[in-house]
Structure 1
């Protein structure tokens, strides 16, 4: 009885496997298209059996080398792409080993130069605001004394040649 159960179980699994294979083939090639191909092969076998036998021998003996060659080509392409990607990633990593410290140094230099320029600006503005003289919009140099009176000590006027200035020797009192 155990042999009959084993045999029926094997038959059930085999039929399930055949049904699964049939469903997969039906997904790739529809049954009507497959039936047309079967009919054409049958017609060819009855009309020209020598030609069909020649094609069958050629297909049977040449299919394996063609499949091996296609597998070799696919594997070669896959290996070359993977190795090209790994090669590129390796050299990109090496380049990053140079880029990161270079960016750190250039960032630090740029930060120091900016800090120096900003500090120079604020220091010069602070010094300029505390000077006892200033320049107004007309190019007059105005000096402020300790009592708050302002006097023009230099009045610049461009000459006709654009480069000479007339300097007044006396100081004039400026009213606000």
Structure 2
């Protein structure tokens, strides 16, 4: 397990549509483990393979707080509902935050590291994180969805008020 460099904008890898994973092997396991270590070291809650230089459909979401790490391989969004606007950030856009509208609920089909197919439903913050990472796999950046950019000072004031 190793910490990899996070690719930051501008870099064409971030807007590349990723290839489907067909080999569920030791290389994939190493990538998933490295991505997790990189995400934790970067203080993130999600990371996608293109953010560490790999253009394959692999993403991780970990909200912490005793929740299980979600590994999304070849994910497909099969259902969405609701809508909410919240502030997002991204490891590939250091210190850039913006309000983004996303579905409140999502149902996803994906594979795990062994290739087994599973289905996952999520709401609120977890759904937002999953959809953000799936966007990365299609070369879609959160900055293309920003309604309004938010300054760091504004975020810090909101955190103090909560």
Q: Which TM-score band applies after superposition, normalised by the shorter structure?
A: under 0.3
Is the radius of gyration larger for structure 1 or structure 2?
A: 1
Q: Select the structure that is richer in helix.
A: 1
Bigger relative contact order, structure 1 or 2, given CA contacts below 8 A and separation 6+?
2
Alignment TM-score, normalising by the size of structure 2: 0.18
Q: Select the structure that is richer in strand.
A: 2
